């Protein structure tokens, strides 16, 4: 109906009216908080390019997890910085690796959190790539076996969900096989299904000490120009056994999140990545943006696009702000 019969502003007059007709509701229950585990004790080292985010030793991780749980955030995802690196990332699979230690410590502390683990090799290899190097390139199939053993070691330590982020072909299938064969058929897989080769990962590479020593990751991460390929990757991972799928990054790929949400009937996650976080932090420090308002707007846009779960470094602050609404 035309104006003046139809006046959309009628339903915007008061906060109570706006809240009654709000289409997208954001809550702390939507968030997954990323944490970086490093060796040592009483270590809490701020990441230069990510203000407010830290590399933490296992004892500090446990303290952080208690706070995360108190804020009503239901899950964390762990990334490991090992004591030693080698050309095949062997410390990713060891029983006493930093991530494996952190899982056990969180579970021993009986903290009410879902513990998700990133399954990849980039933090563990001395060359910084996500797989084994053969003839100057990342070799897909030999990498699958190491990733599968890494996922198994996380499940054995008590991880609730494993999340392969490497973008090797067939890794979900191989991880599902090894988990099932070893009595972990109930451990879900959250697949980084549509992970783009993005310039927004820069600060993460400082946080995880995982920058490639040569070349880049274009031969295995997705071309940012491709949309249909994202659905191909998502469908393949679900067919191989993924219980949930992820789009990464989030803000520059809201259209992809919507495409995936419309196409599948499994939970969809989106990663509000390090570069997206750091851009906001830099603008706030310069007095250009209202952090509270902008962060909640950005996170709402990710959920509005179709994400059921949002991995975000803003999780703690956003949970506090939402609790005061």
pLDDT of residue 213: 74
19-31 residue pLDDT tens: 999 999 999 999 9
135-172 residue pLDDT tens: 888 999 999 999 999 999 999 999 999 999 999 999 99
**In the predicted structure, residue 77 carries a pLDDT above the cut 80:** yes
Catalytic residue among 173, 248, 281, 316: 248
Whether residue 181 contacts residue 149, with contact meaning beta carbons closer than 8 Å, is answered with no
Positive/negative CA dihedral, 231, 234, 239, 243? negative
Side-chain half-sphere CA neighbours of 321 within 13 A: 15
Contacts of 116 (CB under 8 A, 6+ apart): 32, 75, 76, 77, 78, 159, 160, 161, 162, 163, 190
202-234 residue pLDDT tens: 888 887 777 777 777 888 899 999 999 999 999
Question: How large is the average pLDDT for residues 249-267?
Answer: 97
pLDDT of residue 136: 85
pLDDT of residue 210: 75
CATH hierarchy code of domain 26-323: 3.20.20.70
pLDDT of residue 206: 84
pLDDT band at 1 (very low <50, low <70, confident <90, very high): low
303 is catalytic: no
For the chain, the average pLDDT equals 94
Catalytic residue among 195, 281, 303, 316: 195
Instruction: Tell me the C-alpha distance between 256 and 242, whole Å.
Output: 18
Question: How large is the average pLDDT for residues 310-323?
Answer: 97
324 is catalytic: no
Side-chain half-sphere CA neighbours of 281 within 13 A: 17
Buried b (16+ CB within 10 A) or exposed e, 302-325: bbebbbebbbbbbbbbbbebbeee
For the chain, the domains span: 26-323
**In the predicted structure, residue 85 carries a pLDDT above the cut 70:** yes
Question: Which tokens sit at 157?
Answer: 């330590």
**In the predicted structure, residue 49 carries a pLDDT above the cut 70:** yes
């Amino acid at each position: 109906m035309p104006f003046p019969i139809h006046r959309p502003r009628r339903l915007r007059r008061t906060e109570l009216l706006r809240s009654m007709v709000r289409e997208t509701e954001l809550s702390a229950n939507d968030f997954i908080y990323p944490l970086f585990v490093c060796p040592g004790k009483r270590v809490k080292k701020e990441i230069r390019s990510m203000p407010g985010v830290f590399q933490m030793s296992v004892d500090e991780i446990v303290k952080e997890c208690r706070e995360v749980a108190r804020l009503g955030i239901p899950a964390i995802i762990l990334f490991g910085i090992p004591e030693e690196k080698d050309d095949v990332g062997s410390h990713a699979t060891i029983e006493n690796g930093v991530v494996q230690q952190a899982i056990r410590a969180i579970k021993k502390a009986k903290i009410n959190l879902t513990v998700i683990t990133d399954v990849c090799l980039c933090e563990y290899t001395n060359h910084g790539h996500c797989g084994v190097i053969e003839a100057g390139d990342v070799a897909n199939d030999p990498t699958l076996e190491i990733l599968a053993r890494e996922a198994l070691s996380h499940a054995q330590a008590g991880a609730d969900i494993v999340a392969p982020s490497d973008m090797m072909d067939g890794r979900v299938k191989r991880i599902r096989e090894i988990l099932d064969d070893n009595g972990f058929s109930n451990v879900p897989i959250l697949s980084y299904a549509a992970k783009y080769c993005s310039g927004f990962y820069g600060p993460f590479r400082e946080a995880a000490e995982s920058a490639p020593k040569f070349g880049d990751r274009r031969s295995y991460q997705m071309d940012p120009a491709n949309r249909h390929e994202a659905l191909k990757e998502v469908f393949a991972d679900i067919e191989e056994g993924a219980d949930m799928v992820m789009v990464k990054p989030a803000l520059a790929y809201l259209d992809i999140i919507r495409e995936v949400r419309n196409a599948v009937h499994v939970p969809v996650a989106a990663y509000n990545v390090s570069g997206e976080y750091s851009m906001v932090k830099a603008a706030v420090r310069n007095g250009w943006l209202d952090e509270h308002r902008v962060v909640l707007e950005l996170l709402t846009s990710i959920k509005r696009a179709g994400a059921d779960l949002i991995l975000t470094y803003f999780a703690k602050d956003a949970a506090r702000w939402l609790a005061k609404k």
